[in-house]
Structure 1
Amino acid sequence: MSDNLAIRKIIHIDMDAFYASVEQRDNPELKGKPVAVGGSRSRGVVAAASYEARKFGIRSAMPSVTAFRKCPDIIFVKPRFEVYKEVSQIIRNIFFEYTDLVEPLSLDEAYLDVTNNKIGLPSATLIAEEIRKKIFDSTALTCSAGISINKFLAKTASDINKPNGMKLIKPEEAMAFIETLKVKDFFGVGKVTAEKMKRMGIHTGLDLKNKSLGFMTKNFGKSGSFYYNISRGIDDRPVNPNRIRKSVSIENTYDNDLSDISHIETELEKLSESLETRLAKNKIQGKTINIKIKYADFEQVTRSKTSQYWLSKSTDYQPLWKEILLDERLVQKPIRLLGLGLSNLNTEEKENQGLQLTLEF
């Protein structure tokens, strides 16, 4: 680890199978059963799966037809995002009882920096225990927590004792933990990268640590320096409460495949209006319009076009996506999903390094 950095106290809270758990909570008949939020037996994509469903290998982003094939008894439930948002706000309010340094990653997970916390409690472990209890008492839902000295270790720790568990990685334990951790379990290392590392003889954190910075950047580009640092316990990223999204998007999966160009344009116009509403609500503008297409055979493509002007209204960016659709190759196969998004936004990431103190865990 970096010797010149004092120790921070970071907690990563991750709700357990959040969407599916909310559905099981609100409908007792679903408790103990394999549940998939989103999709149906014949169409769509799984947004979340209960732990009972995960035992069959079902996971988020899986085509629902695949989920049904793996588990014929699976129960598909329509998502209720407004309910999930309401529950998420309750959880977030609990976080703010302890610190203002809360960085939400999604509705169901967040980082908290409790180095200097509002209640003056010196133990991050005790804070995590209190938070987990308050969440359960307020929502009847369980969560898992990881506690350590940086984001990488806290995030990794929160997965170890899931569901409804907690893991502390103490400062003096960090390097031993990292060196024995399999690279496939490193947060930030995906399946493709893990396979590439495996072919290079990199199986554990110790193997990773033994590679030079030059080797890592040569073989893994910009991510190479990140892997180089985390294998040494170095992750200086602050918990950023002002984390700003880099894109805004909306998509829809259709019960019947789209093949007629006029029908495709009609659906994109609907998505355009929904996107405009979302942009206006968040006071966001952007310069790059992105189209996502998933075909009936599950092949997926994305196309984008950038304007020199700020875009915020559907009338601004409709000409751009219509120009993208002039590529006839995009509509030669039936389409099951369309997505429309805006990136290159008028927002900037703000990095704020906070005061770091050495305190007991």
Structure 2
Amino acid sequence: MNVSPSPSAASGGRAPTIGVEEEFFLVDPRTRLIVPAGPRVAARAAGAVGDLVTKEFALCQVEGRTPPCGSARELRQELERVRGALVTAAREEGVRLCASGTAVLQGPGPAEVADHPRYRAGTLQYRSMLDDFAISALHVHVHLPDRELAVLTGNHLRPWLPLLIALSANSPYHRGCDTGYASWRAVIRSRFPCLGPPPHAASWQEHERLAVLIADTEAMLDAGMPFWDLRPNPRLPTLEIRAMDVLQDLDDTVAVAVLLRALVVTAAAAAEGGDPGPAWEGEVLRAACWRAARDGWSGEGFDARTGLMRPLDDLAGELVDFVRPALEDFGDLEEVTALFRRLAERGDGATRQRAAATGGSGTAAVVDGLVSATAGSYGGQG
């Protein structure tokens, strides 16, 4: 993803650009099992959108990514273009594109992985922990080229990670079983000592020092490329937010992206004003993220300011109020309020997956519903 320079809105400039990465599974339309068609589908889709698509670590996955976008409308157009190319390419290769955080149905054994030096190093280091690490995420990039400011801004965003996991929860099934969790993807990630909320750091230098210390234990593959849920991207001038499951509906993806832009801008302004942000302990945030992964958008969630568990609908309203000036400045208020209305009315992706299983033929109906939602209005189920 290339992110073009734009002034930080926290410093009085125009809206910073945003970019999105979406990871998808590829499934057989007859068996509904994941299939190792990623390289073929990515190569075919690249004919339409170039390097905005790529294969993934697991051969059963592909990734689509947008160029930098200045508005919700532009982001939606780019997501439609990239998703549409992947939907079409998948169908032409005899498979289907599926937006779920985990594989609903999978054959025996681990998913096949690409033969790449980095992947081989990861397998050597983490061993059987990678056997079921085929998971699909939504990553959002917000342009923030100042590394020091990005770290300080991340301190403010850390306590909101449980809420982001809850609103994006879209992985209740794994290998044909209902896990009892709303985001099993978040649980799989939490097994790794180097994933989850980043440590609170007082500076970019401290952020780097902590990454090096963790990498020295071999709990992290590369200190230069940490995989925390928040990070100044190692190659791009962005703050990257990585906590979310991939979402079924494109409208939800757009809304989450512009919500995160408003949150980054609001937090960056506070950091520039000298506010260090709440220094919640990593153990507290990991516990709150676990609760969010279990329950999704139901019941209660972690209040980023008080640390208390409170109704999620109340927290959503307070988050919107917190970032309202930025949402209004960028014309994104309705996008975000509509997202929370949808969550209140229909629940999260996990709720919708379970409803499909109840109303149809079990997990096969879950996969069919995901495929249909992923394809949206630009390709159908085929």
TM-score normalized with structure 1 length: 0.30
Higher strand share: 1
Structure with the greater alpha carbon radius of gyration: 1
Higher helix share: 2
TM-score normalized with structure 2 length: 0.28
Q: Per chain length, whose mean CA-contact separation is higher, i.e. which structure has more relative contact order (CA < 8 Å, sep 6+)?
A: 2
